[in-house]
Amino acid sequence: MNTKRIRIQIAGRVQGVGFRPTVYRQAVALGLSGFVRNTPLGVVIEAEGDAQAVDRFVAQLQAAPPRQAQIEAFRISDMSACGLHAPFEIK
């Protein structure tokens, strides 16, 4: 398996609109490890898993955020994979 890990920082109207549960459902459906959490600047996501699944995850987030969300910034950073096999979680 070709493993990939990324960090996504999303700013805008992303809190209180069901964003974290949406991210969670998408990540779990794709078998990813990692987390999603709110920060003072928006939402931070770290996701790790099969590279194709991670790419699909990013595409899904960009194409189908919650209806009430308004994404102003979507920044993706590559990270070193650390072999996580823990379930994805909302922090």
Burial of 64 (0-12, 13-18, 19+ CB in 10 A): exposed
Whether 27 contacts 90, CB under 8 Å: no
Q: Which positions are catalytic?
A: 20, 38
